[in-house]
Amino acid sequence: MGTKADKGDRIEIDGVPLNKEEEKVVFLLNKPKNVISSASDDRGRRTVKDLVDEPYRLYPLGRLDYDSSGLILLSNDGDLMQKLIHPSFEVEKTYETVIDGLIKKEEIAKLEKGVKIENYVSAPAKIKLLSQNENKKTSFLEVTIHEGRNREIRKMFETQGYKVIKLHRIKEAFLELGDLKSGEYRRLKPFEVKKLKAFLDGKDL
């Protein structure tokens, strides 16, 4: 038989209050390639949640392609998630990018201004040419965007005839990977979470 509870009653299961709010946490993960940016996958592939062994209901804040690697945040803070993934907040993300080919300065200039991709024009980007390998015919660049549409950087370079070989996110907002190795993660410190929320609210700390 069911039991009715009155307002104000304390309900517990194995000593844990049902109405206890879960502590809000944020983790920074260095995602390896071939890992899904999701809490679960119906095809049984490894997900970012599988890599963060913590007792929280975590969800990735945004996405990072299956074949890309680098910085991704996970949290149980829904408000933070909405702000980080919404394009109106224009959160910059920086990637180390290797492309197949020796890109020209004028092509970089086109990409920085914005190029037509399918049914939209990419937002202005910041692109720095770091080096080129004449023997392998590859270019190493640092690309910073704030839109983050599906496979946007790959599609941007495709418009100029180049294929992205490697895409590795190293920075989001002011947060950087640091010395985290592939597959490693760390919990953001309280001051980092506070700074991130202030940044998204347009405040300076």
Report domain extents, the chain.
Answer: 26-88+174-200, 92-172
Instruction: Give pTM, 2 decimals.
Output: 0.85
Give the Cα-Cα-Cα angle 128, 107, 137 (nearest 5 degrees).
Answer: 75
Does 3.30.70.1560 match the CATH number of domain 92-172? yes
What residue type is assigned to position 119 of the chain? N
B/e letters for 152-172, b = 16+ CB within 10 Å, e = fewer, are: bbbebbeebebebeebbbbbb
Indicate if 92-172 has the same CATH topology as 26-88+174-200: yes
Residuewise pLDDT in 10s, the chain (205 residues): 445 565 555 555 445 555 557 899 999 999 999 999 998 888 989 999 999 999 999 999 988 999 999 999 999 998 888 888 776 777 899 999 999 999 999 999 999 999 999 889 999 999 999 999 999 999 999 999 988 788 999 999 999 999 999 999 999 999 999 999 999 999 999 999 999 999 888 755 4
- Cβ neighbours around 75 below 10 Å, total: 23
Give the catalytic positions in this structure: 65
- Say what the pLDDT of residue 1 is: 46
Q: Are strands 138-145 and 59-60 parallel, antiparallel or unpaired?
A: unpaired
Note the Cα 14 to chain centre separation in Å: 37
Return the closest-CA partner of residue 109 out of 122, 127, 134.
127
Question: 3-state SS string over 105-124?
Answer: HHHHHHHHHCCEECCEECCC
Residue with tokens 């770091």: 130
For the chain, the maximum distance between any two Cα atoms, rounded to a whole number of angstroms, is 77
Note the Cα 68 to chain centre separation in Å: 10
**Rounded distance, CA 45 to CA 37, Å?**
10
Each residue of 131-186: pLDDT tens digit?
Answer: 999 999 999 999 999 887 889 999 999 999 999 999 999 999 999 999 999 999 99
26-88+174-200: CATH topology is Alpha-Beta Plaits (3.30.70)
